[in-house]
Structure 1
Amino acid sequence: MEPARIPDTRSISDAPPVHGLIAEGGSYSNWGGHRATTPAVYVEPISYADVQSIARDHGRFPTPVSPVGSMLSVTDAIVNDGGTLVCLRKLDSILGTETDALGRAVVRVQAGCRLKKLNMWLKERGLEIPFQAEIGEATVGSVAVGDTKESSLDAPGYFSAHVVEATYVDEFGELRTIFDYADGPIFYEFKCSFGLMGIVVECCVETRPARLCRSDISLETYETPQQLARGLLEKRGQCDALLAIVFLDKLIGVFDQRYAAGPGSVAPFSQSRCEEFRVAKRLAIQRGFDGVTTPLPKGILYSRADFVNEYWRPCKDEKRLDFQYYEHDIFKLEHVISESYVFVKAFEEETGFTPGGWATYFVNRLPRAQKPFGLYSDGPGVSFSFDPFCSDPCSPRWQDFSRRYNRLAIDSLGARVSPIQTQWLGKGDVTIPKRLTRSRFTTRYFGEFLE
């Protein structure tokens, strides 16, 4: 049952002051620099009371009030012209580990904490979160109620699956806490809400003793898209988890086959090859895999925290990663790759353009009751994402490709898409139930997808 909502009857003048940074009239952009917004007010709260005052004071902080973290989204999810942009990066404390009411080991962490910081803090204590993150700047609050993906070992490959408690500020400025074991459906819906039900300020995330990982990196070339698809499935069947970078136009796959390698947070011996690969991989992702070669080591050992990388904010003329996201059931893999190959070759013949490559993740899904909306909501099974990427988000040919491929992926191949990871979506491409939103927090962009 949804927690009771208590209307706020106080006047604006009764709202306590906000002590964090407040700016007016500025412009803010996403990481890639191709999405920008000019809110009426930008604010960085330093306490939960600040967030409560922001939600209550409609005069000083005009609707919609939109929470953001590191503004990594490739879509217009950050756009809130004329509204209030609330950046939670100063609420970034790790409050400690504890045991919850069900006896689970958890870490209590504030919403603005970056994943790199959290992973390194846990590593020092011999712990980890099950989600094997890639983007270290992503903040806990954003990924607790947003879309993520990773070919994780031993666990579902999305961060919110491991969030068991959330504290948030509702549309009336009340501070509320909900739990997976006590609040049932409303808790799971909240984690699918993109922050449209309330502003997350704190979470509890499952932890476990740290486990080492081992990776074998290899490159394979195929003669047909069908062989490439079968190669992906074969490589996945040989390991515990697989991440692949596919150069679809060339029918080449670079495979990261991951294996569980026993307990521990630190490899038992120095591995220069592992660090060389980590740095090369980080640079490749930073630059959208353009002009960067990476080694192909085998048998490298590492902790999850080691490969949670950080990326510098690029200049507007710098090569940088941009991407699209599409989720499919694993049983569709060969059909999706075959049809995508035909599309890519036709687009290349017409325009001379192909994406830089395709990131392919395999994600284990939970029961539908635990993921009732959006990505991975088809119930138990395995999804794969097939995500084209580019090194220039402002390229007209890349944008044209993305718009046109949307129609194939969504309309013909039945892909699920994300309002924060799939660009150029139209009405009906994704739907967000109105029950997952509150008008105080719903921007025009997200409002286009309500049903």
Structure 2
Amino acid sequence: MANLKRGADSLLAGWGGTGATRAEVVHPLSDIDVAEIVRQKPERGVIARGLGRAYGDAALNSGGIVLDATALSGVRNLDEDSGVVSVAAGTSLEDLMRWLLPAGWFVPVTPGTRSVTVGGAIASDIHGKNHHADGTFGKHVLSMTLIDGTGTTRHLSPTETPREFWATTGGMGLTGIITEATFRLIPVQTSSMRVDTERASNLDDLMARMSDRDDEYRYSVAWIDCLATGKSMGRGILDRGEHALLSDLPANKRGNPLAFSSHAVVTAP
């Protein structure tokens, strides 16, 4: 385990910031490192952790080993004809989108944050604002590599190993450590989105608007004013969107339609 970087015991919490526990965090640099630490069978077990965006205790292991998978990152292969990509499981959706968008592809499901690893997306079987149209992330996965509880490397797919595949998809890391995944992408013509915004007067109006023309939009999300009362109870704002087509762009943007600016996000305490 010469390449394995061990860290001191660390206090870890989910994104919600509650229920913090202490664990030894290890930083594997290869699948071999992952298998070796699993084979040591630590008394309190091993759990994988990506970018820590689960609200609760999904990637905590009090008194045990937490395997930080973020160093296991990078695109292994992209088939630009079919839109199938293979990546290391520690790759973040943010890094993946930066790499894919100029090639005309987009991730199949985007959750509320771009700071999610592919392994975490599969283990949590994340949903996005396009759930009604495209389902969860696992629906788009063609295969994955898993190091199970014995340290054995297994190759899973929904057709050849459906039981193990679907136990791992949404399995919260309990079937082993995902180290690589291959999945389908969404083709896009531009880096822009076409967004329609509507105001709803109350909850009934909002729900009716969400159902109306639902199949015309890939993405849909609503904000509800929980302080409104009376006839305005449940009033809100509905945003629906779709990836913009080249024809949707103004003429001065059509020369480089996949260009985008990745500016820093403003943060607040």
What residue is the counterpart of 1:163 in the other structure?
Answer: 141
Matched-pair contact (CA < 8 Å) for 1:109–1:202? yes
Asked whether 1:137 is paired with 2:115, we answer yes
For residue 163 of structure 1, report the CA deviation from its aligned partner. 1.1
Q: Show the 5 A alignment for 1:291-440.
A: 318=269
- Superposition CA RMSD, Å: 3.3
Matched-pair contact (CA < 8 Å) for 2:58–2:172? no
Taking the aligned partners of 1:311 and 1:64, their CA distance within structure 2 comes to: 37
Taking the aligned partners of 2:117 and 2:264, their CA distance within structure 1 comes to: 12
Taking the aligned partners of 1:268 and 1:96, their CA distance within structure 2 comes to: 34
Taking the aligned partners of 2:145 and 2:209, their CA distance within structure 1 comes to: 44
SS of the equivalent of 1:168 reads strand
Taking the aligned partners of 1:214 and 1:260, their CA distance within structure 2 comes to: 6
Alignment partner for residue 157 of structure 2, among 169, 176, 179?
179
Taking the aligned partners of 1:187 and 1:309, their CA distance within structure 2 comes to: 37
Taking the aligned partners of 1:151 and 1:42, their CA distance within structure 2 comes to: 33
Taking the aligned partners of 2:166 and 2:13, their CA distance within structure 1 comes to: 30
Counterpart AA for 1:84: I
For residue 50 of structure 1, report the CA deviation from its aligned partner. 0.4
Asked whether 1:34 is paired with 2:18, we answer yes
Taking the aligned partners of 2:45 and 2:266, their CA distance within structure 1 comes to: 29
Matched-pair contact (CA < 8 Å) for 1:235–1:242? no
Counterpart AA for 2:95: K
Taking the aligned partners of 2:238 and 2:262, their CA distance within structure 1 comes to: 18
Alignment partner for residue 68 of structure 2, among 76, 87, 98?
87
Cα distance, 1:141–1:311 mapped onto 2, change above 3 Å: farther
What residue is the counterpart of 1:63 in the other structure?
Answer: 44
Asked whether 1:218 is paired with 2:231, we answer no
TM-score normalised according to structure 2 size:
0.82
What residue is the counterpart of 1:127 in the other structure?
Answer: 105
Asked whether 1:46 is paired with 2:29, we answer yes
Asked whether 1:98 is paired with 2:79, we answer yes
Cα distance, 1:309–1:233 mapped onto 2, change above 3 Å: farther
For residue 263 of structure 1, report the CA deviation from its aligned partner. 5.7
**Which consecutive segments of 4 or more residues in structure 1 shift more than 4 A?**
237-240, 266-270, 305-314
Counterpart AA for 1:89: T
Cα distance, 1:122–1:211 mapped onto 2, change above 3 Å: same
SS of the equivalent of 2:244 reads strand
For residue 29 of structure 1, report the CA deviation from its aligned partner. 2.6
What residue is the counterpart of 2:173 in the other structure?
Answer: 195
For residue 124 of structure 1, report the CA deviation from its aligned partner. 1.9
What residue is the counterpart of 1:389 in the other structure?
Answer: none
Taking the aligned partners of 2:227 and 2:209, their CA distance within structure 1 comes to: 16
Higher relative contact order (CA 8 A, sep 6+): 1
- Structure 2 spans left out of the alignment, 5+ residues: 229-233
Taking the aligned partners of 2:205 and 2:261, their CA distance within structure 1 comes to: 30
Matched-pair contact (CA < 8 Å) for 1:28–1:38? yes
For residue 242 of structure 1, report the CA deviation from its aligned partner. 1.9
Taking the aligned partners of 1:124 and 1:200, their CA distance within structure 2 comes to: 27
Q: Deviations over 1:250-276 (max 9, x none)?
A: 232111121353369x98645xxxxxx
SS of the equivalent of 1:124 reads helix
Taking the aligned partners of 1:235 and 1:307, their CA distance within structure 2 comes to: 31
For residue 109 of structure 1, report the CA deviation from its aligned partner. 0.4
Counterpart AA for 1:37: T
Q: Deviations over 1:78-128 (max 9, x none)?
A: 3311111001000111112138xxx95411101111001101111121222
Q: Deviations over 1:7-42 (max 9, x none)?
A: xxxxxxxxxx15232123221233343341201x21
Taking the aligned partners of 2:164 and 2:263, their CA distance within structure 1 comes to: 33
Matched-pair contact (CA < 8 Å) for 1:136–1:309? no
Cα distance, 1:94–1:35 mapped onto 2, change above 3 Å: farther
Taking the aligned partners of 2:102 and 2:216, their CA distance within structure 1 comes to: 31
Taking the aligned partners of 1:69 and 1:234, their CA distance within structure 2 comes to: 38
Taking the aligned partners of 2:64 and 2:124, their CA distance within structure 1 comes to: 21
For residue 74 of structure 1, report the CA deviation from its aligned partner. 1.1
Counterpart AA for 2:201: T
For residue 238 of structure 1, report the CA deviation from its aligned partner. 6.3
Cα distance, 1:79–1:186 mapped onto 2, change above 3 Å: closer
Asked whether 1:109 is paired with 2:90, we answer no
For residue 248 of structure 1, report the CA deviation from its aligned partner. 3.1
What residue is the counterpart of 1:249 in the other structure?
Answer: 227
For residue 187 of structure 1, report the CA deviation from its aligned partner. 1.8
Alignment partner for residue 212 of structure 2, among 208, 212, 234?
234
Cα distance, 1:226–1:119 mapped onto 2, change above 3 Å: same
Counterpart AA for 2:196: D
